[in-house]
Structure 1
Amino acid sequence: MKRISQILLFLVSSSAFSQTQFTIELKAPAFEKDSLLLAPPATSRNIISIYSLNLNADNKSVKSIGNSKGALVKIQPQDNTIGGTVPCPMPMIMMGPKEDKKGFQQSKMFFIENGNLEIQIADKNLTLMLPPDAVINNDYKKLKEYLQQADEKLRPFEQNNPADLENKEKRLKAYIKKNPESYPAFWEIIDAFSKYGFHKNYLTDLPLFSKKIKNSSCFKDFEKILILENSTNVGGNFPDIDFGPESKITKTTFSDYKITLIDYWSTSCKPCIKELPELVKLYEKYKDKGVNFISVADDKTQQRMDLANKIFKENKVTWKSYFDTTKEFTRKLNAGGYPLFIVVDRNGKILSKELGGQETLEAVIEKHLK
């Protein structure tokens, strides 16, 4: 019995150790009586699933939002304390209203880290002032200075020169080798994956981190995402997807066509809807040349599904479409952004997988029709 108690105590203490306990002392007199939002920076490819912000319940001016991904802080004259735990040190931003109250603005990125972090917001432009002894935030500043030249050549969520992506990955790897305890370097891989897509070397970069980082749930969750992305990336096999009764995508779905283009979209995605007429033109051009189109909408409420059907009818879409109500497409393909275009051959082999990039679709189709 004593042995069992010791094991339970070890498990409880290990679980507690894996969490980062934080307190943010926020001073923002320029936003008094307004509310500020503590939130993750923009992400894609399901990276948001790594985030978890568990708040203490002792401050009634702070409310958890977005499925415990962020916090809404009503700024008070005195106490603006945000306390709680996160799975590991993680990057966040502050968001608040513009001075003219027309829209929102955001701060530069900073890290929630263990212990007390005093943040001063100097003006209405959300200019952050961090303490000089903020260890992880200082590491982040050092890392970004080291990567500055490589970052300047890249454009987030756009097509980039492979050589520029390779250059950033090499510099990041070199930094990790010298700084294996660096959480900012770990999150830089996550950020690069989110903004620029999968790179095979990310999987070989992860083992370079310290045991402490590798034991965190953040690391394990991201590793799972990368492994899934690797298995369903170019060269992998498109998985069977079950959307519900009599609605499936299997290998036989592709067998009658030279290639199949799968378009993953949502009625909440304005670029998807705006570019749909061009997608229809592309289909009309290639439908008699052995090219099939399939659309998968990330919508599950009846109202959204009705809207999707209306949009397709207005644009005279005639190809097969599905609704990912079971979220099986999202889970099996790590589909965390729109539009996502996947090109598959007649055997179900993935030839291309791009987040965005509709402007290059015709070139991709032509390449694989040859």
Structure 2
Amino acid sequence: MKSLNCFLLIPLLFWQVQFSSFSHQENELFPDSEVENFRDYLNVLIDSDDISPLLEDEILVINLWATWCGPCIQEIPELNELVDKYHDQNVRFLAFSDESKADFEKFRTRRPSFEFNFEKSFENFEALEALMKLDQEYQGRAIPLHILVMKDGSVKEVFVGGSKYNIQRIESFIKKEIKRKS
């Protein structure tokens, strides 16, 4: 039992140490100011990433993850199914990691069949900090972290964990948001 607890806690502690320099103030969702449209705010933060600008009326499914996170890796095939299913319905899937692209490529050499079809951002600590501040429950110290952003740019939901239930939750959000008029 002790070894199982260590196995589960070590990734959480590592994640916490990685971001210990960030300040997490309760009830402050965005740094420095109130932001009405999170999509617009995130566009500023991803300007230097490989991610193309986020467009008005796009639904966003955002995932914070790492290659060392077992639950993250385990949920990715099901997340990929959502990417495939909704690829032409104005839904963007974005993944942010504190790891480098080189770390990701090393991981892929060990697991050549691994696919993650989200648009990926590596080492964008400013964007990671903003995303983690949305997590009121764990203050951004647990992954996988999911953030669902509505067509109007507002954050609908933020939750942690890799499970079939959370995949269903994401798909339910997508379906409802697709039906909602802008």
Q: Give the TM-score normalised by the residue count of structure 1.
A: 0.34
* CA contact 1:228–1:332 (8 Å) conserved in 2: no
Deviation at 1:277, TM superposition (A): 0.7
* CA contact 1:265–1:296 (8 Å) conserved in 2: yes
Q: Look up the match of 1:284.
A: 84
* Distance (Å, rounded) in 1 between the aligned partners of 2:71 and 2:94: 18
Specify which of 327, 337, 340 is matched with residue 142 of structure 2.
Answer: 337
SS in structure 2 of the partner of residue 273 of structure 1: helix
* Distance (Å, rounded) in 2 between the aligned partners of 1:309 and 1:242: 26
Deviation at 1:309, TM superposition (A): 5.0
* Distance (Å, rounded) in 2 between the aligned partners of 1:266 and 1:47: 13
* Distance (Å, rounded) in 1 between the aligned partners of 2:45 and 2:112: 24
1:363 aligns with 2:172: yes
* Distance (Å, rounded) in 2 between the aligned partners of 1:256 and 1:311: 38
Q: Look up the match of 1:85.
A: none
Q: Greater share of strand residues, 1 or 2? A: 1
* Distance (Å, rounded) in 2 between the aligned partners of 1:351 and 1:339: 17
Q: Look up the match of 1:146.
A: none
Q: Which runs of 5+ in 1 are unaligned?
A: 1-39, 52-220
Larger Rg: 1
Deviation at 1:263, TM superposition (A): 1.2
Which structure has more relative contact order (CA 8 Å, sep 6+)? It is 2
Q: Deviations over 1:11-45 (max 9, x none)?
A: xxxxxxxxxxxxxxxxxxxxxxxxxxxxx9x978x
* Distance (Å, rounded) in 1 between the aligned partners of 2:66 and 2:16: 18
Amino acid at match of 2:129: R
CA RMSD in angstroms, aligned pairs only: 4.0
Q: Give the TM-score normalised by the residue count of structure 2.
A: 0.63
* Distance (Å, rounded) in 1 between the aligned partners of 2:92 and 2:152: 13
1:225 aligns with 2:25: yes
Q: Look up the match of 1:314.
A: 113
* CA contact 2:62–2:93 (8 Å) conserved in 1: yes
Q: Deviations over 1:151-172 (max 9, x none)?
A: xxxxxxxxxxxxxxxxxxxxxx
* CA contact 1:242–1:248 (8 Å) conserved in 2: no
* Distance (Å, rounded) in 2 between the aligned partners of 1:311 and 1:290: 33
Amino acid at match of 2:175: E
* CA contact 1:267–1:307 (8 Å) conserved in 2: no
Specify which of 32, 49, 62 is matched with residue 247 of structure 1.
Answer: 49
Deviation at 1:249, TM superposition (A): 6.1
Deviation at 1:326, TM superposition (A): 4.0
Q: Which runs of 5+ in 2 are unaligned?
A: 1-8, 133-139
Specify which of 115, 126, 142 is matched with residue 328 of structure 1.
Answer: 126
* CA contact 2:147–2:155 (8 Å) conserved in 1: yes
* CA contact 1:254–1:260 (8 Å) conserved in 2: no
* CA contact 2:61–2:149 (8 Å) conserved in 1: yes
Deviation at 1:316, TM superposition (A): 3.7
Amino acid at match of 1:364: F
* Distance (Å, rounded) in 2 between the aligned partners of 1:331 and 1:249: 17
Are residues 237 and 286 of structure 1, via their aligned partners in 2, closer, same or farther at CA, if it must alter by over 3 Å? Answer: same
Q: Deviations over 1:277-334 (max 9, x none)?
A: 11111111111222121111221373x23235558962443442110x2411232222
Amino acid at match of 1:327: F
SS in structure 2 of the partner of residue 299 of structure 1: coil
* Distance (Å, rounded) in 2 between the aligned partners of 1:308 and 1:253: 28
Q: Look up the match of 1:26.
A: none
Count of matched residue pairs? 153
SS in structure 2 of the partner of residue 317 of structure 1: coil
* Distance (Å, rounded) in 1 between the aligned partners of 2:175 and 2:120: 23
* Distance (Å, rounded) in 2 between the aligned partners of 1:319 and 1:313: 17
